[in-house]
Each structure stands twice: as C-alpha cells, then as structure tokens.
Structure 1
Amino acid sequence: MNSGCCWTKTPRKYLWYAFLDNKTIDNWRQYLVAKKAAKKAVAAMQAAHYDNISKQLDAKDGGERLIYRLARCRQRQTKDVEKFYGVNDEQGQLIIARKKGNEKLV
C-alpha cells in the first residue's frame, strides 16, 4: 500500500515549500488543490485495498487463513522493536540520557 503513497516527494510538498518561500494567495490555492488531489488519491487507494481484502475474506478457500495472517501481521507491528544499545557508567548503571551515552562512547 505504501508503494504508491501520494504523501512523499510529490508536487504537494514542493508547492508547500513554494508557499513558505513566497506567501501569496495564488501559491496557497495551488497548494490546497494539490493537497486535495493527494487526499483523493490516497482515499481511492485505501478503498481499493479494503475492497480487495473484503473479497478475499468472503472467498471460501482463503478467508480464514487471511484473518490469521492479518492478526499475525498486526501483532508484529504492535511489538515496538527498535535497536537498543546500552551504555553503562562506572558503577554499572545504565545511562539513560542519550547525550551522556554518546559522550561515554566517544
């Protein structure tokens, strides 16, 4: 779904920066038109995606498996897994402040 996302590196973004550079009514209107078009494109993509999922769920052969696959995917996404590095001070306590941790590494 993110492959055709209209919110990244689009004319909408360029028009926003053009508006910030030169704040005129014409630039603002051009930005609003581009923003509305981008929202419509995203809404159409989402509707098509959910329509496709709805059809797959209604299918006799793959509906149940799709439900479990979606649940597993959602569970994986809810796990907030990030790269963690720990830096300990002289007493062995974990340094929580990122600035102090970076100073310790350098």
Structure 2
Amino acid sequence: MIWSIIKKEYQRNLNFFAHSLNRLTIGIWRCSQTGLQIVSEALKVNTHAGLFAKQGMLRIKKLKDDVEVDFKEQKKSRKSQQINQRSKENLILKSLRKQQ
C-alpha cells in the first residue's frame, strides 16, 4: 500500500515539450529535461472557486467606487449651493450699498 502511494507520487507523464514530467508535489509537475514547471488546475486562480472570489472582489470594488463617486457629487453640489448663496448675498449687499 505504501509502495503504491510512493509510486504514484513519482509517476511520469507525457510532456509534449520534451517527453517526460516528474511530479514534485501535489499539483506541481517538472520536466526533467527542460526544467519546465507546470501547475495543475487545482492551484490556478481560474478555477470555479477562484473565479467566484475574483467576481466578488470586483463587485465590492465597484460598489465602493460608486459610493465614492456619489459622495464626491454630493460634496460638489453642496459647494455649488454655497457659492450660489454667497453670490446672491453679495448681489444684495451691492444693491443696498448703491441705494445708500
């Protein structure tokens, strides 16, 4: 039983680039001739779980950006309202000064 596990760990597979691959660890293969290392699908980011996590992160980032944009727009509108109010007050003061 143990011997079969050890054999399975060091089994060889066909490498299309140079004929053979050795298994280093779970999911990592290395070509003995070229030194090329290949990672299996389980360790890549493009698995179903990895894509799901990536989409969630992008969704959170988009929501955060939308909130920041809304906040900036509110801040701009408040500033423009304050500027309009000040300009109206200045016009009233100027007209009062002219009348005196």
TM-score, structure 2 normalization = 0.39
Larger Rg: 2
Structure with the largest fraction of helix:
1
Flag the structure with more relative contact order, 1 or 2, with Cα contacts below 8 A and sequence separation at least 6.
1
Higher strand share: 2
